[in-house]
Structure 1
Amino acid sequence: MYTMFRTDKERAVIFGEYMIDRRATVRATAAAFGVSKSTVHKDLTEQLPKLSPKLYREVRGLLEENKEQRHIRGGLATKHKYEMASNK
């Protein structure tokens, strides 16, 4: 887990780079840095466009991709949950 950031601006860029490097979700990024999903999302959508428009465009694309796949991941998680329960 990562912790201290010098500034909120630095944090927004670090979140963006982390997500792009790892193709991570907002939830995974929040967990890695020990912050809330709201903090990650707010930094990415409010701070990052002003600080690094190019990085923001990449992150925005990843956010859209994750949003489109959300229902698939949710369905797989539910399937896995019931498979695990039936194996007990």
Structure 2
Amino acid sequence: MKGNMEERACELAVYIIENRATVRAAAKKYGISKSTVHKDLSERLPTFNHTLYLQVKDILEENKAERHIRGGIATRRKYKGE
């Protein structure tokens, strides 16, 4: 996954858009850190592909708004033994 940062940022964005994935899921899929994914999408992508950035930004904002719900579900599963 190392190499051209522009290609990596576009590939990450397309993956997140197609799968409606989280930053964590994208990082796991490509074997890079969450910090790298976030930096690629929020800082690098807007400079060379603004339309793709706007699409991925909507999904990231939606994920951010839902994360407290996902955390509650994960805690419930943990203590119920699921």
TM-score range, shorter chain: over 0.9
Q: 1:74 aligns with which of 61, 71, 79?
A: 71
Q: Tell me the equivalent position of 1:13.
A: 10
Q: Which ranges in structure 1 are unaligned for 5 or more consecutive residues?
A: none
Q: Tell me the equivalent position of 1:36.
A: 33
Task: Verify the 8 A CA contact 1:13 1:51 in the aligned structure 2.
Answer: no
Task: Verify the 8 A CA contact 1:23 1:62 in the aligned structure 2.
Answer: yes
Query: TM-score, length-normalised on structure 1?
Result: 0.89
Q: Tell me the equivalent position of 1:65.
A: 62
Q: Which ranges in structure 2 are unaligned for 5 or more consecutive residues?
A: none
Structure showing greater radius of gyration is 1
Report runs of 4+ in structure 1 exceeding 6 Å deviation.
none
Equivalent residue of 2:65, what SS? helix
Identity percentage over the alignment? 54
Task: State the Cα deviation string for residues 19-77 of structure 1 (Å, max 9, x = none).
Answer: 00000000000000000000000000111101211110011101100000000000000
